[in-house]
């Protein structure tokens, strides 16, 4: 599936970009240097006739991405949140990829609902509308539950979407393997691992049962968050290819004119959307990883409403603390500490110079603090960051891909609401609060308590562990005991277990 036949797929990708005019539009938006423009023209024009011409009524880049398929559309959705990278005009054009793609017929959706839920649509819903929104993977219908009269949103996967994504991902794997083969220097970026991560995220998004579970967990975590709301999952009418949730009314977060007309404070919204994301990532370690404007609305009371939970991010406590320390270091302009955290976490090879790395980070951070937010070029900043990672041999951390990508998207959403927003000032109170709670004596005591509780679970097995260890010591040539724990822990491990049990007993019994 990932063999040379994918060369044809990649050639058609380049040919489609050239035939639709997207190649030139992208190069212009990114202010690409002349050599790259010449190379693109030389490589693209001979194969131009092989490309898909798409829908001529669409702008060039949108036309190309929709013709290429769902995986490419996902990439376009990310770019739609970054006017500072691709320009205001292209970002606005790309927003149609969020929820305004061509829908599939309502009858096909009803067929899938009946097959998934095992009942005729008319028995479940007293009304079932034409598509009200259509994205790369699924589309949404407004419906009314027959038994309660409640208005709901019914999300239905596109027919054949799994096969379409599989074709794209196979081509991506082939491209990643070729890049690693032809450019050894690129291996530090782990392109194959990045594609594997993307595959896992996308394939999870194609099972709406997982999305329902994610929405339920997210709701439990955020139920006390002021100014934030989620629609309720209707489990009885949800399955692998169909998901039913409560219907929500609101103004699209990307429609600034409508937000202004409704009297919403866009500066406040821009700050809140960023702080909500940081709270979810740092406090909970579970965050909405697809927070573009197409998945966010503003209710009449000013609440930000999130939906579409197909892509959720999860980071463990240790990674959260590392991430918070890095953000906090940038906020405090303590670049040496930021550099030290990178080394402590293993993000930078130990043989590199920490002071030199700190100076490189200073060159990244200082322009941000010394410049008006509207003048910061995120494209140039990202380009310089890439140079820094290459210079210091930093490998791609696949566990951070979703976090980093979502941070870029959320910042783009916030800037679209308030172009003068300063990400560091807005992030500071959230990061400082997390640092105070999670790093310090109280946090250390909490960690030790958790460790003691885990180790104390072995308490009932301590006599057996000690006896088995004694037998092992007295009969070194004997057949290993059936219980594997003594051989794994040894005397040191048993001593730690006994100590932990003693500490726990002393703590509990006073």
pLDDT tens figures, 268-280: 999 999 999 999 9
- Band of residue 63 on the pLDDT scale cut at 50, 70, 90: confident
In 78-198 the beta strands, taken as DSSP E runs, fall at 125-134, 138-145, 151-157
- Band of residue 408 on the pLDDT scale cut at 50, 70, 90: confident
Query: How many other CB atoms are there within 10 angstroms of residue 178's CB atom?
Result: 15
| Predicted pLDDT of residue 444 | 65
φ and ψ of 233, to 5 deg? -75, 135
In this structure, what token pair is assigned to residue 408?
């870029």
Span between the terminal Cα atoms of the chain, in Å: 64
Q: What's the rounded Cα separation, in Å, for the pair 175 and 7?
A: 8
Percent of the chain with pLDDT over 90: 28
Q: Which residue has the higher pLDDT, 119 or 78?
A: 119
Q: Which residue has the higher pLDDT, 86 or 273?
A: 273
Which range, 37-51, 115-129, 197-211, 496-510, is most confident? 115-129
In this structure, what token pair is assigned to residue 321?
């603390």
- Is pLDDT at 85 greater than 90 in this prediction? no
Q: Which long-range contacts (CB under 8 A, 24 or more apart) does 304-307 make?
A: 304/227, 304/228, 304/229, 304/253, 304/269, 304/272, 304/273, 304/276, 305/228, 305/229, 305/230, 305/231, 305/248, 305/250, 306/218, 306/228, 306/229, 306/230, 307/153, 307/230, 307/231, 307/245, 307/248
Mean pLDDT for the chain overall: 79
- Band of residue 506 on the pLDDT scale cut at 50, 70, 90: very low
Q: What's the rounded Cα separation, in Å, for the pair 293 and 413?
A: 7
> Kind and range of the H or E element at 304?
strand 304-306
| Predicted pLDDT of residue 131 | 94
Q: What's the rounded Cα separation, in Å, for the pair 468 and 412?
A: 60
| Predicted pLDDT of residue 466 | 73
Q: Which residue has the higher pLDDT, 436 or 510?
A: 436
- Is pLDDT at 363 greater than 70 in this prediction? yes
Which candidate in 290, 303, 308, 418 is catalytic? 290
Beta strand 304-306 with 228-229: parallel, antiparallel or unpaired? parallel
- Is pLDDT at 440 greater than 80 in this prediction? no
Q: What's the rounded Cα separation, in Å, for the pair 67 and 256?
A: 29
Closest CA to 13 of 31, 26, 29, 30: 26
- Band of residue 29 on the pLDDT scale cut at 50, 70, 90: low
- Pick the range with the lowest mean pLDDT from 317-331, 422-436, 471-485: 471-485
What burial class does residue 308 get, using C-beta atoms within 10 Å of its C-beta: 0-12 exposed, 13-18 middle, 19+ buried? buried
Average pLDDT over residues 23-51: 69
147 assigned to active site: no
pLDDT tens per residue across span 99-130: 677 889 999 999 999 999 999 999 999 999 99
Q: How many CA atoms lie within 13 A of 206 on its CB side?
A: 18
| Predicted pLDDT of residue 482 | 47
Q: At what angle do helices 22-29 and 60-68 cross, to 10 degrees?
A: 120
In eight-state DSSP terms, residue 95 is: T
Looking at the DSSP bridge assignments, the partners of residue 242 are 156
Q: Who's near 406: CB < 8 A, 6+ residues apart?
A: 277, 281, 287, 288, 289, 290, 291, 313
- Pick the range with the lowest mean pLDDT from 321-330, 440-449, 460-469: 440-449
Q: What's the rounded Cα separation, in Å, for the pair 189 and 181?
A: 13
Query: How many other CB atoms are there within 10 angstroms of residue 454's CB atom?
Result: 10
With contact defined as beta carbons under 8 Å apart, do 27 and 37 qualify? yes
Which range, 150-154, 387-391, 481-485, is most confident? 150-154
Q: What is the pTM of this model?
A: 0.70
- Band of residue 293 on the pLDDT scale cut at 50, 70, 90: confident
- Pick the range with the lowest mean pLDDT from 18-32, 36-50, 320-334, 429-443: 36-50
- Is pLDDT at 193 greater than 90 in this prediction? no
- Is pLDDT at 505 greater than 50 in this prediction? no
- Pick the range with the lowest mean pLDDT from 156-160, 395-399, 400-404: 395-399
pLDDT tens per residue across span 309-348: 988 888 888 888 888 888 788 878 898 998 898 888 888 8
Average pLDDT over residues 456-481: 68
With contact defined as beta carbons under 8 Å apart, do 416 and 87 qualify? no
Q: What's the rounded Cα separation, in Å, for the pair 137 and 310?
A: 10
In this structure, what token pair is assigned to residue 467?
């006896």
| Predicted pLDDT of residue 498 | 46
Average pLDDT over residues 440-461: 69
Q: How many CA atoms lie within 13 A of 488 on its CB side?
A: 6
In this structure, what token pair is assigned to residue 240?
């692998």
Rg (CA), the chain: 27
- Is pLDDT at 65 greater than 80 in this prediction? yes
Beta strand 312-314 with 286-288: parallel, antiparallel or unpaired? antiparallel
In this structure, what token pair is assigned to residue 176?
């990643």
């Amino acid at each position: 599936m990932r063999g040379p036949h994918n060369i044809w797929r990649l050639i058609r990708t380049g040919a489609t970009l050239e035939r639709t005019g997207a190649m030139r539009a992208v190069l212009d938006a990114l202010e690409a240097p002349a050599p790259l423009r010449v190379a693109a023209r030389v490589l693209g024009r001979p194969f131009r006739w092989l490309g898909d011409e798409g829908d001529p009524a669409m702008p060039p880049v949108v036309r190309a991405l929709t013709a290429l398929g769902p995986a490419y559309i996902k990439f376009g959705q990310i770019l739609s949140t970054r006017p500072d990278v691709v320009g205001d005009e292209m970002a606005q054009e790309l927003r149609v990829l969020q929820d305004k793609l061509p829908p599939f017929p309502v009858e096909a959706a009803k067929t899938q609902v009946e097959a998934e839920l095992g009942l005729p649509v008319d028995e479940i819903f007293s009304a079932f509308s034409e598509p009200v929104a259509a994205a790369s993977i699924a589309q949404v219908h407004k419906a009314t539950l027959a038994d309660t009269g409640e208005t709901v949103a019914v999300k239905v996967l596109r027919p054949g979407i799994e096969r379409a994504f599989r074709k794209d991902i196979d081509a991506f794997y082939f491209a990643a393997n070729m890049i690693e083969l032809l450019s050894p220097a690129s291996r530090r970026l782990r392109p194959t691992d990045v594609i594997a991560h993307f595959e896992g995220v996308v394939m999870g998004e194609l099972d709406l049962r997982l999305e329902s579970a994610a929405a339920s967990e997210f709701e439990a975590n955020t139920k006390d968050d002021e100014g934030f709301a989620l629609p309720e999952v209707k489990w009885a009418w949800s399955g692998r290819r169909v998901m039913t949730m409560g219907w929500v009314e609101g103004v699209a977060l990307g429609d600034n004119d409508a937000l202004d007309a409704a009297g919403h404070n866009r500066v406040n919204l821009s700050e809140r959307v960023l702080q909500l994301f940081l709270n979810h990532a740092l406090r909970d370690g579970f965050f909405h990883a697809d927070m573009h404007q197409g998945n966010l609305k503003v209710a009449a009371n000013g609440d930000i409403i999130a939906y579409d939970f197909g892509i959720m991010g999860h980071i463990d406590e240790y990674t959260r603390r590392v991430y918070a320390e890095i953000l906090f270091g940038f906020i405090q302009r303590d670049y040496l500490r930021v550099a030290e955290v990178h080394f402590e976490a293993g993000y930078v090879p130990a043989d590199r110079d920490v002071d030199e790395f700190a100076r490189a980070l200073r060159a990244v951070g200082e322009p941000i603090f010394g410049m008006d937010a509207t003048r910061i070029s995120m494209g140039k900043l990202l380009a310089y960051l890439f140079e820094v990672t290459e210079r210091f041999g930093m490998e791609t951390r696949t566990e951070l891909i979703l976090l980093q990508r979502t941070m870029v998207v959320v910042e783009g959403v916030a800037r679209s609401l308030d172009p003068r927003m300063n990400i560091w000032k807005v992030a500071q109170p959230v990061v400082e609060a997390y640092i105070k709670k999670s790093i310090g004596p109280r946090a250390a005591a909490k960690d030790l308590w958790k460790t003691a509780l885990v180790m104390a679970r072995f308490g009932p097995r301590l006599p057996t562990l000690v006896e088995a260890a004694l037998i092992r010591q007295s009969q070194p040539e004997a057949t290993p005991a059936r219980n594997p724990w003594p051989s794994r822990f040894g005397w040191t491990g048993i001593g730690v277990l006994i100590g932990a049990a003693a500490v726990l007993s002393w703590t509990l019994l006073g």
